[in-house]
Structure 1
Amino acid sequence: MAGGQTPGSFSKNFAWGHTGLRKLHESIRLGFADVLEPVSRKLWRSQSQIDNPGLDLIPVNFFLHNAAGQLTVDELVYQAVSQPYSLRFDRLALFAFNLSQVGRPPLKGPGRPAAWANEFVKEALWQNGVWRRSALAKPAMGAFLKTHIKGQSYWKCQTNYRRLFGLCGYLTGTSPTVNSGAADCQSAWKKDPVSAPKRDPSRRRARRIDPARGAGRGCAARRDRCPVGRSVWVQARFLKRQLSLPVSTISQ
């Protein structure tokens, strides 16, 4: 791809440690204050308890979409606020990152900071209906990202991106293909759709926002008029089917 992508804040080290993407789960939950309603970027950053002003933008890369100056609620946010942390959250986050269309930030930066990851999955990782393990090897991933990311930050992105696959348990094994779990989850979804979890009545009722229906109370937008486009609605449904997670009862 000519020119290459700008990776934005993802070239920085978020210091995930050995606890999976728990930091992402916690920062999303705190940033939204345990309420499933849109929040301004400024308020989210102040509430997320990520003290480093450069690192607090990294979680934003994982959201499927956002509006100007606002972070809206998608499937990943729903899972962080409504469900305890788990490996399934990690894998959902990776899928969301690969599909992210967060839009242009209010001041500066790339319009789609994870576009290079989407290209990697489509052009290198996903072949003939499966994930190829060879594409996740350091030399192969590095060679691809070097031609798809501007400047020398590609190697930092390679380290951070490959770390996500490791935290999700996708780097272990010797078979030529990687089992993402998508087929099993889709089969389970068809046989036994998952119901929304019961909420604690002592807590404020958290109204889940369907990205296809708008971002706030009383919003009459529908998927065909959604400012982020119908593709995001399709992607949100795809994520739910991929990982067979609890979903809302809002009609689709």
Structure 2
Amino acid sequence: MSEGGEVWKPGSFTKNFSWGKSDTGLSELHTVIRIGFEDRLEDVPRALFRERISKTGRPDYIPINFFLFNRIEDGESYLCADELVFQAISWAPGEVFDRIALFAFLFSFAGKWKGARKEQRRPAMWANAYIREHVAENLSWQTSLVSADDIQGFVDRDPRYDAQTSRKLATNLNFLLKIGRIQDFSNPKVTRWWVDCLFLALDRLLEDAKLDDRNPSPSGYSSLLERSGFFELTGGSNMEKKLSIKHLVRLYTALDGRNRLSNQDMIELTADVLPDTPITMPNDPRPRGAIHLTNPRILKSIPPVCSDLARAAGFEVVSPDEVEYLNASEFVSQRTAAALAVLQEKGIRPNMSLEELLKVTRER
């Protein structure tokens, strides 16, 4: 047992998941979230969430204690509607949701609820450490080496692990890593799921800060992400990801953090920030895509009511279908062709040849 430092207790994670076969991914979690929140992007009392799930005969301890975020208001425990809930309600289950849900688990910010023990605020730090300290650092993201035996050896050797058994934890975590597609986490490129994970990380970090009466400034969001281990859990840092952080933090701030999920809050914010912009609710309720033209891989799905604020933050907004089927190369080609067509229509033409341009460039 660790002396005076971090202590890892597995809690209910050693129970049976009852989440079906490995080829179904995390679809059972997806279903539980939608039922528990009744397909609404609103915080829900923890007791009400549990009541709704109990009627289906499904277990709820893993979703509410390890995947979702809890808070207490006026003496009542709530589960927060954040990016993970938005993804479950907005999209069908699949590989993107599986990766985001696995990140939520590995990030291990679960908040507080009435009766929770101290260690339950960060309930899966053994999994967090296994990825950051072992898979990323020791195995260099060779996820083919991940196994129940490897996980068991890691926790058994670590003095922070405080439990009577480790085998069931190891087999459960190995199963979760498999169905959550841990092999995809080492991708060095910015991807849609990575962008969504960044928003989820900020949601959790800011809600966790509120529990201690802290209110981090947007100017510190980037460093907050770095200190949290976000990069280590998602394949490491590189220039493309660092540049993306700047744009995504601007978008997150412009959409007022977790308030982006409230139509009423976004209507009021849009009216305040863009008073000359007529506010209309689109007929199609599906999420739009906010894409940054400096890198079309920076694609964030957002509620449709956020579109005007996203544009004001320097993003282009694309249709629901483009979000699902966007091809970055085709997007750039189409937008370039459209821009050239506008220039041609306005009669704007280059007044310098390529050779002249190159000569000027060399001279400078």
The answer, yes or no, to whether TM exceeds 0.5 is: yes
How far 1:77 moved relative to its partner?
A: 0.8
Which is higher, the Rg of structure 1 or of structure 2?
2
> C-alpha distance in 2, partners of 1:169/1:188?
15
Q: Greater shift after overlay, 144-153 or 67-76?
A: 144-153
Q: Is 1:137–2:147 an aligned residue pair?
A: yes
In the alignment, which residue of structure 2 is the partner of 1:204? none
In the alignment, which residue of structure 2 is the partner of 1:201? none
Is the CA contact (8 Å cut-off) linking 2:141 and 2:186 kept in structure 1? no
Secondary structure of residue in 2 paired with 1:26: helix
In the alignment, which residue of structure 1 is the partner of 2:39? 34
How far 1:74 moved relative to its partner?
A: 1.8
> C-alpha distance in 2, partners of 1:164/1:243?
27
Q: Is 1:121–2:134 an aligned residue pair?
A: no
Secondary structure of residue in 2 paired with 1:67: strand
In the alignment, which residue of structure 1 is the partner of 2:62? 58
Q: Is 1:167–2:179 an aligned residue pair?
A: yes
Secondary structure of residue in 2 paired with 1:122: helix
User: Which ranges in structure 2 are unaligned for 5 or more consecutive residues?
Assistant: 197-202, 208-213, 235-244, 249-296, 314-364
Secondary structure of residue in 1 paired with 2:49: helix
Letter in 1 for 2:88: A
> C-alpha distance in 1, partners of 2:206/2:162?
36
Q: 1:58 to 1:124 in 2, by over 3 A?
A: same
TM-score normalized by the length of structure 1: 0.69
How far 1:34 moved relative to its partner?
A: 0.6
In the alignment, which residue of structure 2 is the partner of 1:77? 85
In the alignment, which residue of structure 2 is the partner of 1:100? 108
User: Percent identity at matched positions?
Assistant: 32
Is the CA contact (8 Å cut-off) linking 1:62 and 1:93 kept in structure 2? yes
Secondary structure of residue in 2 paired with 1:151: coil
Letter in 2 for 1:131: W
In the alignment, which residue of structure 1 is the partner of 2:169? 157
Q: 1:211 to 1:142 in 2, by over 3 A?
A: closer
Letter in 2 for 1:42: A
Secondary structure of residue in 2 paired with 1:48: helix
Letter in 1 for 2:110: V
Q: 1:187 to 1:31 in 2, by over 3 A?
A: closer
Letter in 2 for 1:155: R
Is the CA contact (8 Å cut-off) linking 2:8 and 2:161 kept in structure 1? yes
> C-alpha distance in 2, partners of 1:189/1:25?
15
After the TM superposition, which parts of structure 1 deviate over 3 Å for at least 4 consecutive aligned residues? 49-53, 187-190, 210-214, 221-225, 230-235, 237-245, 247-252
How far 1:158 moved relative to its partner?
A: 0.8
After superposition, give the CA deviation of every residue in 1:141-180 in whole Å (9 maximum; x if it has no partner).
Answer: 111122343223322111111001221344xxxxxxx442
Is the CA contact (8 Å cut-off) linking 1:131 and 1:179 kept in structure 2? no
In the alignment, which residue of structure 2 is the partner of 1:10? 13
> C-alpha distance in 2, partners of 1:23/1:14?
10
> C-alpha distance in 2, partners of 1:50/1:131?
41
Q: Is 1:67–2:77 an aligned residue pair?
A: no
Is the CA contact (8 Å cut-off) linking 1:37 and 1:72 kept in structure 2? yes
Compare the two structures and name the one with the higher helix fraction.
2
Is the CA contact (8 Å cut-off) linking 2:70 and 2:111 kept in structure 1? yes
Secondary structure of residue in 2 paired with 1:246: strand
TM-score normalized by the length of structure 2: 0.50
Secondary structure of residue in 1 paired with 2:141: strand
User: Which ranges in structure 1 are unaligned for 5 or more consecutive residues?
Assistant: 171-177, 195-209, 215-220
In the alignment, which residue of structure 2 is the partner of 1:217? none
Superposed CA RMSD: 4.0
Q: What are the equivalent positions in structure 2 for 1:179-190 lying under 5 Å apart?
A: 179-180=184-185, 182-184=187-189, 186=190
Letter in 1 for 2:301: P
Secondary structure of residue in 2 paired with 1:13: coil
Letter in 2 for 1:126: A
> C-alpha distance in 2, partners of 1:27/1:140?
30
In the alignment, which residue of structure 2 is the partner of 1:206? none
